[in-house]
Structure 1
Amino acid sequence: MYPRQIGAGEPVKKALYLTAVTVVLLLWLLPLLAVLMTSIRPGSDIMMGNYWGWPSSFELVENYLGVFTQTPMGHYFFNSLVITIPSVLGVLCLSTLTGYVLSRYRFRGNILLFAVFVGGNFLPFQIMMIPVRNLTLALGIYNTYLALIVFHVAFQTGFATLFMRNFIAALPDELFEAARAEGASPLQTLIHVVVPLVRPALAALAILLFTFIWNDYFWAVVLSPSDSVKPVTAGLANLMGQYAASWDLVSAATIVISLPPVALFFFMQRHFVRGLTMGAVKG
């Protein structure tokens, strides 16, 4: 059922394994390397077909400054922050509440309600494109920040509820019994017992949600046709003209818009382990 560890006396297998891992890693990193190299090339290199060779000159500062001075990516970047941050916070709050209730309270329809949250993850979101667009038009929020925030929260809460419910259900029952014995209300138990203990789960979920919502392209195109609220994923496509594209600026913009999820990961990774036993009873 589990892969057997390669022993010290099997040099051939170890060499084959290392070779396979290296090849796969290089193939995976090759597109990223191409984008990085293109982002520091002058536009003339790309026009001459120099895609993989050594750049004739390095225009790192010029290209990356040009992303914000020669294109509207700064505005799109701001739009993505306005959409992503409230969406992540909303999903974290809702999924923590629903996960707490579904994991710790037994009531009629508990399993059915949980199945509804989980079942929504199996629906292809493309089939909801026209109903969602018509709903935003009926509500008068089409082509606004609110439309993208509301539907990102709605579509991500199902997965987040599954994630948080399973994590909260694994907490020891003695913690909740001790909280009830001390006279804590359900809300106090959630705030003072559950939230400190699920901090690693919240950190991991926040990274996933931020990445999903920040990188979303489908709903960005469907619900924000104008540049006023368009996020970076849809705005990046505007940098490519009908007949030509400044691939040096496009590549630099691609690297820039990939930095926030990476930065968030390094900022939040210290919370993965800390807080696992915070608030636990002794003895």
Structure 2
Amino acid sequence: MYPRPIPEDAIWQRRFYFIAVLAILILWLCPLFAVILTSFRSTQDVMGGNLWGWPTQFGLVENYTSVFTQTPMARYFLNSLTITIPAVMGVLTLSTLAGFVLARYRFRGNMLVFALFVGGNFLPYQIMMIPVRDLMVRIGLYDTTGALIIFHIAFQTGFATLFMRNFIAALPDELFQAARAEGASPFQTLVHVVIPLVRPALAALAILIFTFVWNDYFWAVVLTVSDTVKPVTAGLANLRGEWVSAWNLISAGTIVVAVPPVVMFFLMQRHFIAGLTMGAVKG
């Protein structure tokens, strides 16, 4: 199932492996490097078609300043924060509650409910485009940030519940027996016993959900029309002109949009790694 390690004495195999990994890494990073380099270019370079060569003139400060002064990127950025933060909080709350119930309480239909949460992850989200759009129109939330918040909470809760249910189920039964012996209610057990122990899992899940919601483009286009509610992913597409596109500004905006998930990951890196490896070693 797993690839065998390359022996130490197989020098040529190890060299070939290193070269292959390096080549794949370079190919994977080439588009990112091109975007970063283009964000440094001047308008003259872009208009002259110099998109892959080394910039003849640098417009680093001008490009990144113009993203916020000549485009509505600041508004798009604020919209994304308005959508992403409530969605992440809602998903964490609902998935923790549902995961706790599904992991610690046995009732008729427990596995059926859990299967419904898991099964929703296998549906292609494109098939829900028309029903979700019609639903938002009927309830009066179409072209609002509320539509995106509600959809992301509903769509991400299935995966998050699977994630949290497995972590909570791995906790020792003795903890819950002790809590019941002390007279703790189920809600007190959740708040004072479960949440402190699964905090790394919550941090890992928060990073994943934040990245999913922040980077979403499909539903941002389907459920929003006006610039006043569009998030950054849909807003970047608006920076393209009908006849001429300022690719240096678009590239600078792309880098700005990519910063929040990266910053959040590095700030919570320790918790993220601990959450992913929690329960990997027993005893």
Fold equivalence (TM over 0.5): yes
Q: Which residue of 1 aligns with 2:90?
A: 90
Of the structure 1 ranges 49-58 and 223-232, higher mean CA displacement relative to structure 2 is found in 49-58
Give the deviation of 1:2 after TM superposition: 2.3
Identity %: 70
Q: Which residues in structure 2 correspond to 1:156-167 (within 5 Å)?
A: 156-167=156-167
Q: Which residue of 1 aligns with 2:107?
A: 107
Equivalent pair of 1:197/1:275 in contact (CA under 8 Å): no
1:5-154 residue pairs with structure 2 within 5 A?
Answer: 5-154=5-154
Deviation per residue, 1:46-76 (Å, 9 max, x gap): 2222122221121111100110001100000
Q: Which residue of 2 aligns with 1:182?
A: 182
Residue 154 and residue 17 in structure 1: after superposition, are their counterparts in 2 closer, same or farther (change >3 A)?
same
Shift of 1:244: 1.1
Q: Distance in 2 between matches of 1:118 and 1:275?
A: 20
Q: Find the residue that maps to 1:245 and give its secondary structure.
A: coil
* Residue identity in the other structure for 2:18: L
> Displacement, 1:264?
0.5
Tell me if structure 2 keeps the 8 A contact 1:103–1:165.
Answer: yes
Q: Is the 8 A contact 1:40 1:58 kept in 2?
A: yes
1:273 is displaced (CA, Å) by: 5.9
5+ long unaligned stretches in structure 2: 277-283
Q: Report the counterpart of residue 243 of structure 1 in structure 2.
A: 243
Using the alignment, how far apart are the partners of 2:118 and 2:92 within structure 1? 16
Q: For 2:197 and 2:151, how far apart are their aligned partners in 1?
A: 29
Moved more, 148-157 or 132-141: 132-141
Aligned partners of 1:46, 1:127: CA distance in 2, in Å? Answer: 39
Q: Which residue of 2 aligns with 1:204?
A: 204
Count of aligned pairs? 276
In structure 2, distance between residues paired with 1:215 and 1:232: 8
**Residue 280 (structure 2) aligns with:** none
Cα distance in 2 for residues equivalent to 1:194 and 1:273: 19
Following TM superposition, the consecutive aligned residue runs of length 4 or more in structure 1 with deviations greater than 3 angstroms are: 272-276
The TM-score, its normalising length taken from structure 2, stands at 0.95
1:184/1:274 CA distance change after superposition, 3 Å:
farther
3-state SS, counterpart of residue 34 of structure 2: helix
Change (3 A) 1:275 1:206: closer
TM-score of the pair, normalised by structure 1: 0.95
Q: Is the 8 A contact 1:199 1:272 kept in 2?
A: no
Q: Could you report, residue by residue, the CA deviation over 1:153-188 in whole angstroms, capped at 9, with x for unpaired residues?
A: 000000100111111111111111111111111111
Cα 1:275–1:138 shift into 2, 3 Å: closer
| Distance (Å, rounded) in 2 between the aligned partners of 1:83 and 1:14 | 47
1:275 is displaced (CA, Å) by 8.8
